[in-house]
Structure 1
Amino acid sequence: MPFKPDLVDELNVLIKFKDSTQEGIKVHKTASPSLIEATQRLFDKGMITQKDGGYLTPRGLVTVEHAHTLHGLLSSTPE
């Protein structure tokens, strides 16, 4: 099953976070509607602390670690 565009948008928000609960992000009202909606969905899923960003929850931290790993694997060139 392919990734749906909504999931890709959520992954793009997640990779903006560092692998830490100490650094948050803020998605401003001027951001693209798809980014704002993805951030709201991540909040609804319990991965971030605020509907416009905030900090990672424990669930969000695990998800971000996996998102960074997936991004790194797909971005690398084979040896």
Structure 2
Amino acid sequence: MKCPSCTAENKDTAAVCKKCGVSMTAQPLYAPTKEWHLKTLAVIYGVLIVVFFFLNWLLKPYMRAIPPEVTPWMQKGNEIHK
């Protein structure tokens, strides 16, 4: 195997070039950066928030109210609030 830097001949199992010391392992074509991860997460969270509020608005007519007898602690003027 030839070194990509100095074209010296090396063993096929060599990790570094014996002449110049350059790494012989293949580098990945693309390695995502921290900024890319942050942008991707921001887009995902933004889409999730928009979808949540859109579905909340869209499904509002189909939601039923909770009767006050079921949740007395949530009612104003109750003895618990006083």
Return the TM-score normalized by structure 2.
Answer: 0.27
Higher relative contact order (CA 8 A, sep 6+): 1
TM-score, structure 1 normalization:
0.28
Which has more radius of gyration?
2
> Which has more helix, going by share of residues?
1
Higher fraction of strand? 1
